[in-house]
Amino acid sequence: MRRIQCTVAYDGTLFSGYQIQPNGRTVQEEIEKALTRLHGGEEVKIHASGRTDASVHAKGQVFHFDTKSTISVNQLERGANALLPEDIVVVDTKETSEDFHARFSVKKKEYRYKVLCSKSRDVFLRHYMHHVPYELDRKVIKEAIKGVIGTHDFTSFCSAKTEIEDKVRTIYEAEIIEEGDVLTFRFVGNGFLYNMVRILVGTLLDLGSGKSFTKDISGMLEAKNRTLTGKTAPGHGLYLWKVYYDN
């Protein structure tokens, strides 16, 4: 048995999310269908680094699967891409050790969130960037984002639906990349809670628009209270950018 590690990119616009569900088109289902066909009908199950929600994109999602096939990794990649729909592409494939796990071997993840700051909407970017039609105080945002770096309890910045009890995470890097009207929020951490990046971005956008909160970012973190933070930014601006491993 061989273990294959794949990096995949997908446009989340027409997906109900990554994980298979009873109703709705999903990334996992499309990949498993393609790999099963490639294996002559023998069912293939994949394991990913994590889930993404409806409309969320990925540039560097990682999954692994086990196979008895002797086909080369290059042939596996070409064959999978020939069978996958146009909004999913495998960008890297390699054989890995049997103790590698796409989820449990993760060291860091990088997420990016893209915002278009312009008076008018861009119809060609509407599925890939969150549009903000008003001026933002970028200095305020740049200063506030520094507050999330470090190890904190992120209860205030995760969905109330989160079932995970341990909400302590470490953010190694947090910054804003400016490219004209486009702002990219970049976060690198050892893990992220459900809706964490989208709530962080929503809060930072609220701060940049002049909305006042009873606490600053540090105070919000200490309070461990979701009601004290901003709205959840929409999913279509979010990208799972890269997953980091030792291998």
Q: Which two tokens stand for residue 97?
A: 């050790």
Say if CB 205 and CB 145 are below 8 A apart.
no
φ/ψ of 102, rounded to 5, equals -55, -30
Contacts of residue 155, Cβ cutoff 8 Å, sequence gap at least 6: 167, 224, 225, 226
Q: Helix, strand, or coil here: 178?
A: strand
CA separation, residue 53 to residues 56, 118, 121, 240 (Å): 6, 26, 23, 11
| DSSP state letter for 214 | S
Rg of the chain over Cα atoms, rounded to whole angstroms, equals: 19
Looking at the annotation, which residues are catalytic?
53
